[in-house]
Amino acid sequence: MNNENLTKTHIELYKNGSKWLETPYLNGQEHGTQTGFYPNGSIMSKVAYVNGRRHGTEIQFRMDGTKRWEAPYVKGKEHGTWIHYHEDGSKEEKVVWKNGEFVTSKRF
């Protein structure tokens, strides 16, 4: 396999032809920020990858652009404080993870 196939941006489409998912690859693995889209073109998600594993903060958005949640990952495992948001932007829930293991949660 040549380097052209290993390092690229892969794009997946909805049936209507609009972009659904855009994923960067480096050396054949997800690497960089994967962006998901709603059918109307607004951003649905941003997920950070390093060497094929989630590493960094995943952010999910509602169709109106407000945050649904933020979720940190380290080397493919949930690690840190996830925050879920109400539609008005206020915090709904905090969930703490350590090395992929649930620690605690709190609803607001």
Delimit the domains of the chain by residue range: 3-107
What are 49-61's pLDDT values in tens digits? 999 999 999 999 9
Q: Token pair 């940190």 is at which residue? A: 72
Rounded to whole angstroms, the Cα distance separating 48 from 88 reads 25
What are 16-49's pLDDT values in tens digits? 999 999 999 999 999 999 999 999 999 999 999 9
Taking alpha carbons only, the member of 14, 26, 21 closest to residue 43 is: 21
- Global pTM reads 0.89
- The chain-wide mean pLDDT, for the chain, equals 94
**Which residue type, as a one-letter code, is found at position 98?**
K
| Topology given in CATH for the domain delimited by 3-107 | Outer Surface Protein A; domain 3 (3.90.930)
Provide the terminal-to-terminal Cα distance of the chain, rounded to the nearest Å. 51
Do the Cβ atoms of 60 and 45 come closer than 8 Å?
A: yes
In this structure, the number of other CB atoms found within 10 A of the CB of residue 61 comes to 18
